Structure formats: structure tokens, C-alpha cells
Amino acid sequence: MSQVQATRKRVLPGFGLTMGYSVLYLSLVVLVPLSALLLNSTGLTWEKFWDVATDVRVLASYKVSFLCAAAAALIDLFLGLLIAWVLVRYEFPGKRIFDAVIDLPFALPTAVAGVALTALYAQNGWIGSLFEPLGWRMAYSQTGITLALMFIGIPFVVRTVQPVLEELDKDEEEVAATLGAGRWRIFCSVIVPELVPPLLTGFALAFARGIGEYGSVVFISGNMPMKTEIAPLLIMSKLEQNDYAGATAVALMLLVISFVLLFVINSIQRWSRRRTV
Amino acid sequence: MKRQWKSGLILGLSLVLTMMLSACGASKGGTEVDGSSAAVELLNVSYDPTRELYEAYNKAFAAHWEKEKGQKVTIKQSHGGSGKQSRSVQDGLDADVVTLALGYDIDALQEKGLVQEGWQSKYEHNSAPYTSTIVLLVRKGNPKGIKDWDDLIRGDVQVITPNPKTSGGARWNYLAAWAYALKKNNNDEAKAQQFVQELYKHVPVLDSGARGATTTFVERGIGDVLIAWENEALLSVKELGTDKFDIVYPSISILAEPPVAIVDKVVDKKGTREVADAYLKYLYSEEGQTIAAENYYRPTLESVTAKFKDQFPKLELVTLKDVFGTWKETQQKHFSDKGIFDQIYVPGSS
């Protein structure tokens, strides 16, 4: 039995070699840079670290970063589902172009996106000027940050939901229909459970991207301390003062919180997948 | 079989390419070693708004050096935020000379042992061949009637200035306002802090860099007054038309001294000290000063200053040394963490 397994041909060479390569590249690309980050903060005593990481301005910036990223990811969740749905279920002229456009936020340098969005949503911009009379400031507020994060996060949701939606078995819906389920019931009890895992993945990706985002936000946020200052900007400002250790402290804190949050989201996702299967 | 033939071809082609490339490299390296008449290359690491200035100056210096020594010199430029540029040099960018916005950014290089101590007294005028100052740019006709620093904290006036923690230029802005408040209140520090704090309450957007702040003011149409370097203000007015903006010269401002220095460690390694030294010295010459003035920097040479006196109105200028001391002290007191600028934004401080 064991001999059969050993001689069975696999596409990739044996476990040892593949694992070796995986570990090597993971180390080179992810683990070594992250440990360099840790190394940078070693100039810091624990007390100083805590002092930097829990400064009122730093805390306020975490709040802005996480709240805006969460809000943007949540809106993207619904928007992305809708877009994926339309792309999968309907035929319309220009569909392929529409489909390709979804990925553009990935390709666009984020600073360009930031400048473009600011131009649109500023008080004298096309969209911003419509909202200004209503007393709703779009750019230079948390609304602006959320808008920028929505823009860069939307492809994540669409691209994770779309393939699952495409492979969804139509038969099940038809069966549900013949058993007398209404449209809403079919959507809620047949389609949505299938979509929960990819939706959660999309949410996690969009959220994670939003937390660390710098380029697109720095132009539209207005960077007001305590109000619209994001954590990555504080890291930049510490670097600007040659305060590498302080910058690392903030970054490390950001990483730890993000890791915990992503871990929770992933756990929920695994749990929901197990439940549906 | 066919696939093998193909991959062989690719392998062969890439081998040929590598050989060609390495041959190129070798021939280029060859010219560098043979004698003093060989071409020499300098890297000038500078900050953002000096791009046009050094494009013009580099051409002039190359011509001057070739005439003088018969040696061809090419100068490469690198531009970016002043602090960022300083960090790149610290991290190993091989800059022969640095021409940055603040002495503090060169002090940081000195701390890393890249620049020798006493760099600031190596060239005339604190090693600042050209200077500038901080002025107020307002919309055409000055609708809010802004004449001096005091008007910036009046009623509904909105002020645009970048964040001093992320922008070197913004630190000069902050210090100019501080210097004014000190002078007005007979050197009362507490009152000066109050004034500056009030001023930053009138700032609706705190951009991360000086060019960003200019964009916010000029293109987004936000704010009534932009605190800016004189050279940037003059450039904005020239580029966007005199019918859109006016420059207001406040009663008192700070003499902004963007310093230059040789990166000793790099020039010793590359053997380019002589030409790098000449490069910086020529900035003080008639021609170098004229180019600086043409790019809206205030020249330090008397004869050139006289020629451009219409472009640069006289106003009372204080120096950093007079009011604040060294950059290190200034940075510590005002801009480091928990410094005065941070205190301005701590809740409950007002």
C-alpha cells in the first residue's frame, strides 16, 4: 500500500522538495521582511513601545483606519454581490468590458486613484459640489476615506463571489421553485448559504487592504489629527522624523490587530463552510 | 523532440543576450578607469521643488567644468520629499551631494557618519547658497483682506498648510508663524504657542506634502490663504496666471535656508570629492546665483541680488539660528513626538 503511494506519479515533485520551496519562498517574500520589522523595533523598551502604541493620536488613527476599512468592506460586500450577480446572471451589451473594468482599481496606482477621487469629491468637484449644499462634506472627512477604500476594495468581493456564483447549481433553485418557494425564499435559503464563505473571504480581503491603504487615502482624508488621520500616515510621519522604532511600534500594533481580526473572520468562514457542507 | 529544440533555442538566445550585456558593462567600466580625462558622474539628491533649478544648473556646471578641467561630467538628479530623500541616502543611495530643504535632514546623515561634522560651516552662508522665505498666497484681489499673520486667525479665514510632521517645507511655515508671534508678544513662548495653535484650528486640510497643499489650494479651491515658500508661490502665480492669485508679504517671516553638503563617505569611496566640491562651490558663482534667482530662489551674492531686486521684495527676515537655535533643538522641541505640534492636537489642550 505504502509502496503504491510512493511510486504514484504526481504533477509536482515529492512532498519534501515542494515543501522546501514553499518554505523558502514564503520566508523570502513574507517572513523575512516581517521579522526585519520586528528587528527594527528592538531599539524600543516595552514601556516605550506601549507608550507609542497607545498615544491618544495613535489610538484615534487606529479607530479611523479600522472603522473606515470596516465600513468600506461592508458596503463593498453588498455592492460586490450585486455586481457579481448581474455579471453572472444577465446578458447585456458591453458585459465583457464591464467585467474587465472591475479589475482596474487593482492596476491603478493608488495615489492616482486618490487624486482622482479627491478631484471628484472636493467641494468644487463634480460630485462633491452636489452634496455640499446639503451640508454633507464628502472629501476631507471620514466619508471620503470610506469612499476611497470602497474603490480599492470592490474587486476583491466581486472576484471571490463571481466564480462561486457561476458554479452554483441551477437545479437546486428549480427544485426549490417547484416545491413552492418564492423568489425571496430561494435567495435566502438556497443561494445565500452557498455564498457566505466567498463573501466572508471578499470582506476579509477588502478589509485587510483598507487597513493598510495609504496612497489613495492620504489625498482625500485631509489628514486632520484626531479626526481623519489614518494609522499609515502616522507611520509615515514617524519615519519622516527618523523615528524608525516608533514607526515600527505603530506598524506592529496595526499588524497584530489586523491579524486577530482576520483570524476571527477566517474562523467564522471555516465554521460556516463546515456547516453548509 | 520539438519542445527540446525550442527550449534549446531559448537557452542559447538568453546566453547570447547575457554575454552581450556583460560585454556592454565591461566596456563602460573600461572608460571610467583610464585617466583623469574620463567622464565622471555625480548624483545630486535633492528635494521636490528644486527640479527645474538643478536641470538648468547641471547644464551650466557641466559646461563650466569641461572648460576648466577638460573633463565631461554628467549629473544625475533625484527628487522627492526632503526627509524621504535623506532616508534613502542613509539607507545606501550613493549620493555625492545632497541639496535638501532642512539642515535637520543633513544632520541625520551626519549622525549616520555619512557627512562629516561641521558641514554647515563648510560653505558660505551656513552652506545655503540660495535662500527663500515663507509668504502668503491669496486669491486674486485678496477678498478676505489678508495682510499679515494676524489675519490668518481671524473669523472664518481658512488656511492651507501641510503637516509639519510629514513635510519639511511645512516646518518652515510653522516656524515663520511662531517667529511672528514671538516678536509680537515680546518673546512670550506661551502666547506664541497659543497663536500657532489658533492658526492650526483654521486649517481644514493638512496635506502630507507641500505640493499637495498647493494643489488643494490652487486646484480644489479650498481655503483663503496658502502658506508657501516664496519660490513655489512665484511659480504658482507664473504658471497659473497673474489673474488668479496674489502674493502677500507678511511684516515678518523666516529666512528659509535650504542647505547643501558633500556626502563625504560616498565621494571618498567613488573618488569624486574634487568635482563634487566644485559642483557645490559653483552654486555661489555669478552664473549659479543667476540660475537660482531665475528659478525664484533668493540669491546670496550681492551683485545678483541687485539685479533681481524687483522680484524679491525686502521684508524683515529672522533666521532659524536667531530665534530657534539649531535644527536638532528645534526638531526636539516642536516636531518630535509629544512636542509642541503634537500638543496642539491633544484633546483638552485648548
- As averages over each run of 10 residues, the pLDDT of chain B (350 residues) reads 53 52 43 58 91 94 93 92 89 93 91 92 93 94 92 92 88 94 92 94 89 87 92 87 88 94 94 94 95 94 91 91 91 89 75
ipTM of the complex: 0.75
pLDDT of residue A43: 72
Is-contact B130 B292, C-beta < 8 A? yes
Mutate which: B47, B104, B163, B211, vs A, most A CBs within 10 A? B163
pLDDT of residue A224: 87
- Length reported for chain B: 350
Whether the per-residue pLDDT at A255 is higher than 80: the answer is yes
Residue A56's pLDDT band, with cuts at 50, 70 and 90, is confident
pLDDT of residue A161: 94
Is-contact B97 B190, C-beta < 8 A? no
C-alpha cell, A235: 507611520
pLDDT digits 0-9 by tens, A68-91: 999 999 999 999 999 999 999 999
Whether the per-residue pLDDT at A16 is higher than 90: the answer is no
A100 Cβ neighbours under 8 A, 6+ residues apart? none
| CB contact (8 A) between residue B166 and residue A55 | no
Distances A271 to A264, A266, A277, B244 between C-alpha atoms, Å: 10, 8, 10, 62
C-alpha cell, B79: 527628487
Distances A27 to A15, A20, A260, A262, B230 between C-alpha atoms, Å: 18, 11, 21, 21, 50
pLDDT of residue B133: 95
| CB contact (8 A) between residue A240 and residue B347 | no
pLDDT of residue B7: 57
Q: Is A36 near chain B, with CB under 8 Å?
A: no
Amino acid identity at A9: K
| CB contact (8 A) between residue B108 and residue A242 | yes
Rounded-to-10 torsion of CA B245, B172, B285, B290: 0
What is the C-alpha end-to-end distance of chain B, expressed in Å? 81
pLDDT of residue B84: 87
Q: Which pTM value belongs to this model?
A: 0.80
Stretch A231-246: mean pLDDT, rounded? 85
pLDDT of residue A134: 87
pLDDT of residue B350: 47
Mutate which: A40, A223, A227, A240, vs B, most B CBs within 10 A? A240
Is-contact B220 B171, C-beta < 8 A? no
Stretch A237-242: mean pLDDT, rounded? 82
> How many A-B residue pairs are in contact by the CB < 8 A criterion?
76
Residue A276's pLDDT band, with cuts at 50, 70 and 90, is low
d(CA A227, CA A221): 9
Neighbours of B243 (CB within 10 A): 9
Out of B212, B338, B342, the one facing A219 most closely (by C-beta) is: B212
B-chain residue closest to A237, CA distance: B166
d(CA A60, CA A101): 35
Residues of chain B with Cβ-Cβ distance to A119 below 8 Å are 219-220
C-alpha cell, A266: 477566517
Out of B83, B204, B220, the one facing A240 most closely (by C-beta) is: B83
pLDDT of residue B236: 85
Rounded-to-10 torsion of CA A83, A89, A94, A98: 20
**Window from A53-57, A154-158, B9-13 with minimum mean pLDDT:** B9-13
Neighbours of B211 (CB within 10 A): 16
Instruction: Please identify among residues 85-144 of chain A the ones whose CB lies closer than 8 Å to any CB of chain B.
Output: 115, 118-119, 122-125, 139-140
pLDDT of residue A222: 86
Q: Is A246 near chain B, with CB under 8 Å?
A: yes
DSSP-based three-state secondary structure for B33: helix
Is-contact B44 B76, C-beta < 8 A? yes
Is-contact B69 B37, C-beta < 8 A? no
| Backbone torsions φ then ψ of B318, nearest 5 degrees | -100, 155
